[in-house]
Protein backbone atom coordinates (compact mmCIF):
# COMPACT_ATOMS: atom_id res chain seq x y z
CA UNK A 1 0.00 0.00 0.00
CA UNK A 2 1.03 3.61 -0.48
CA UNK A 3 0.08 7.03 0.80
CA UNK A 4 -1.12 9.07 -2.16
CA UNK A 5 -0.85 12.82 -2.68
CA UNK A 6 -4.12 14.61 -1.85
CA UNK A 7 -4.99 17.10 -4.57
CA UNK A 8 -5.80 20.62 -3.32
CA UNK A 9 -8.40 23.13 -4.43
CA UNK A 10 -7.30 24.85 -7.61
CA UNK A 11 -6.31 21.61 -9.33
CA UNK A 12 -8.72 21.15 -12.24
CA UNK A 13 -9.14 17.41 -11.52
CA UNK A 14 -11.38 18.33 -8.56
CA UNK A 15 -13.89 19.97 -10.92
CA UNK A 16 -14.21 17.10 -13.40
CA UNK A 17 -16.90 14.43 -13.59
CA UNK A 18 -15.53 10.96 -12.90
CA UNK A 19 -15.97 7.93 -15.14
CA UNK A 20 -17.76 4.83 -13.86
CA UNK A 21 -15.75 1.77 -12.92
CA UNK A 22 -16.47 -0.87 -15.57
CA UNK A 23 -14.68 -3.80 -13.91
CA UNK A 24 -13.05 -4.52 -10.56
CA UNK A 25 -9.43 -5.03 -11.60
CA UNK A 26 -6.29 -5.49 -9.50
CA UNK A 27 -5.56 -1.82 -10.22
CA UNK A 28 -8.94 -0.78 -8.73
CA UNK A 29 -8.30 -2.95 -5.67
CA UNK A 30 -4.86 -1.37 -5.23
CA UNK A 31 -6.43 2.09 -5.53
CA UNK A 32 -8.96 1.22 -2.80
CA UNK A 33 -6.16 0.01 -0.50
CA UNK A 34 -3.97 3.05 -1.20
CA UNK A 35 -6.91 5.42 -0.68
CA UNK A 36 -7.62 3.82 2.71
CA UNK A 37 -4.01 4.24 3.82
CA UNK A 38 -4.11 7.85 2.60
CA UNK A 39 -7.39 8.50 4.43
CA UNK A 40 -5.99 7.15 7.69
CA UNK A 41 -2.75 9.09 7.29
CA UNK A 42 -4.74 12.32 6.80
CA UNK A 43 -7.11 11.59 9.70
CA UNK A 44 -10.12 12.12 7.44
CA UNK A 45 -13.58 10.57 7.42
CA UNK A 46 -13.87 10.31 3.64
CA UNK A 47 -11.83 10.38 0.46
CA UNK A 48 -12.88 10.31 -3.18
CA UNK A 49 -10.72 9.15 -6.09
CA UNK A 50 -10.44 12.60 -7.71
CA UNK A 51 -8.88 13.84 -4.47
CA UNK A 52 -5.92 11.60 -5.29
CA UNK A 53 -5.97 12.54 -8.99
CA UNK A 54 -7.97 9.56 -10.30
CA UNK A 55 -11.12 10.33 -12.29
CA UNK A 56 -13.06 7.20 -11.32
CA UNK A 57 -16.34 6.90 -9.39
CA UNK A 58 -14.78 5.56 -6.20
CA UNK A 59 -15.06 6.91 -2.66
CA UNK A 60 -14.32 5.76 0.87
CA UNK A 61 -16.19 6.78 4.00
CA UNK A 62 -15.12 5.81 7.53
CA UNK A 63 -16.92 7.94 10.11
CA UNK A 64 -16.38 5.34 12.85
CA UNK A 65 -12.96 3.64 13.00
CA UNK A 66 -13.18 0.19 11.46
CA UNK A 67 -16.58 0.78 9.82
CA UNK A 68 -15.39 1.36 6.26
CA UNK A 69 -17.67 1.90 3.29
CA UNK A 70 -16.00 1.34 -0.07
CA UNK A 71 -18.28 2.98 -2.61
CA UNK A 72 -17.77 2.08 -6.26
CA UNK A 73 -20.12 3.83 -8.71
CA UNK A 74 -22.21 5.18 -5.82
CA UNK A 75 -25.51 6.96 -6.25
CA UNK A 76 -27.85 8.46 -3.71
CA UNK A 77 -31.24 6.83 -4.18
CA UNK A 78 -33.12 8.39 -1.24
CA UNK A 79 -32.83 11.64 0.71
CA UNK A 80 -34.74 12.65 3.80
CA UNK A 81 -34.76 15.58 6.20
CA UNK A 82 -32.26 18.38 6.50
CA UNK A 83 -29.14 19.23 8.49
CA UNK A 84 -26.99 22.35 8.58
CA UNK A 85 -23.62 21.39 9.99
CA UNK A 86 -19.95 22.26 9.91
CA UNK A 87 -18.02 20.68 7.06
CA UNK A 88 -14.44 20.67 5.88
CA UNK A 89 -12.40 18.83 3.25
CA UNK A 90 -8.94 17.32 2.92
CA UNK A 91 -8.64 19.03 -0.47
CA UNK A 92 -9.63 22.43 0.96
CA UNK A 93 -7.40 22.65 4.03
CA UNK A 94 -8.05 25.15 6.81
CA UNK A 95 -11.44 26.17 5.41
CA UNK A 96 -14.74 25.26 7.01
CA UNK A 97 -18.34 25.99 6.18
CA UNK A 98 -21.91 25.29 7.18
CA UNK A 99 -23.61 23.19 4.51
CA UNK A 100 -27.18 22.13 3.77
CA UNK A 101 -27.32 18.34 3.54
CA UNK A 102 -30.03 15.71 3.96
CA UNK A 103 -30.28 14.23 7.47
CA UNK A 104 -30.66 10.73 6.03
CA UNK A 105 -29.53 9.23 2.71
CA UNK A 106 -29.56 5.80 1.15
CA UNK A 107 -26.72 5.00 -1.22
CA UNK A 108 -26.46 2.20 -3.76
CA UNK A 109 -22.92 1.20 -4.71
CA UNK A 110 -20.68 -1.74 -5.53
CA UNK A 111 -18.14 -3.21 -3.14
CA UNK A 112 -14.67 -4.47 -4.02
CA UNK A 113 -16.17 -7.84 -5.00
CA UNK A 114 -18.40 -6.22 -7.62
CA UNK A 115 -21.53 -6.83 -5.55
CA UNK A 116 -24.20 -4.12 -5.45
CA UNK A 117 -25.39 -3.12 -1.99
CA UNK A 118 -27.32 -0.32 -0.32
CA UNK A 119 -26.49 1.51 2.88
CA UNK A 120 -28.43 4.14 4.79
CA UNK A 121 -26.67 6.79 6.83
CA UNK A 122 -27.90 9.56 9.10
CA UNK A 123 -26.21 12.63 10.54
CA UNK A 124 -22.46 12.72 9.95
CA UNK A 125 -22.53 9.51 7.89
CA UNK A 126 -25.17 10.96 5.55
CA UNK A 127 -23.16 14.16 5.25
CA UNK A 128 -19.99 12.21 4.46
CA UNK A 129 -21.75 10.14 1.78
CA UNK A 130 -23.08 13.32 0.14
CA UNK A 131 -19.70 15.08 0.40
CA UNK A 132 -17.73 12.24 -1.20
CA UNK A 133 -20.29 11.53 -3.93
CA UNK A 134 -20.30 15.25 -4.77
CA UNK A 135 -16.54 14.98 -5.39
CA UNK A 136 -17.26 12.43 -8.13
CA UNK A 137 -19.27 15.10 -9.95
CA UNK A 138 -16.71 17.89 -9.54
CA UNK A 139 -18.53 19.55 -6.63
CA UNK A 140 -16.71 20.84 -3.53
CA UNK A 141 -18.38 21.35 -0.16
CA UNK A 142 -17.89 25.10 -0.58
CA UNK A 143 -20.38 24.97 -3.47
CA UNK A 144 -23.05 23.82 -0.98
CA UNK A 145 -22.00 26.08 1.88
CA UNK A 146 -24.55 28.52 3.20
CA UNK A 147 -21.78 30.16 5.25
CA UNK A 148 -18.00 29.88 5.10
CA UNK A 149 -16.39 30.46 8.48
CA UNK A 150 -14.11 33.42 9.02
CA UNK A 151 -10.70 32.81 10.62
CA UNK A 152 -12.16 34.06 13.91
CA UNK A 153 -15.10 31.66 13.68
CA UNK A 154 -12.72 28.79 12.90
CA UNK A 155 -10.74 29.55 16.08
CA UNK A 156 -14.00 29.65 18.10
CA UNK A 157 -15.51 26.48 16.64
CA UNK A 158 -12.54 24.30 15.78
CA UNK A 159 -9.62 25.58 17.80
pLDDT digits (tens, 9 = 90+) for 59-81: 999 999 889 999 999 999 999 99
Cα–Cα distance measured from residue 121 to residue 106, given in angstroms and rounded to the nearest whole number: 6
Q: Which residues participate in catalysis according to the annotation?
A: 132
Architecture of domain 12-157: Alpha-Beta Complex (3.90)
pTM for the predicted model, two decimal places: 0.95
Cα–Cα distance measured from residue 119 to residue 152, given in angstroms and rounded to the nearest whole number: 37
42-65 in b/e form (b: 16+ CB < 10 A) is eebbbbbbbbbebebbbbbbbbee
Q: What is the pLDDT of residue 68?
A: 97
Give the pLDDT mean for 134-154.
Answer: 94
Burial of residue 115 (number of CB atoms within 10 Å: 0-12, 13-18, 19+): exposed
Q: What is the pLDDT confidence band of residue 155, given thresholds at 50, 70 and 90?
A: confident
Q: Compute the mean pLDDT over every residue in the chain, rounded to the nearest whole number.
A: 96
Q: Would strands 83-89 and 69-80 be described as parallel, antiparallel, or unpaired?
A: unpaired
Give the pLDDT mean for 22-50.
Answer: 97
Three-class SS state of 132: helix
Amino acid sequence: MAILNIVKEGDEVLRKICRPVEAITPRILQLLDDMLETLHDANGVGLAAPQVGVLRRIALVEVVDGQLYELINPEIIEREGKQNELEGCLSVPEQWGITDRPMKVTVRAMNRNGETYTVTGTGLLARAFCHEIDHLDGVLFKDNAVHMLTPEEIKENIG
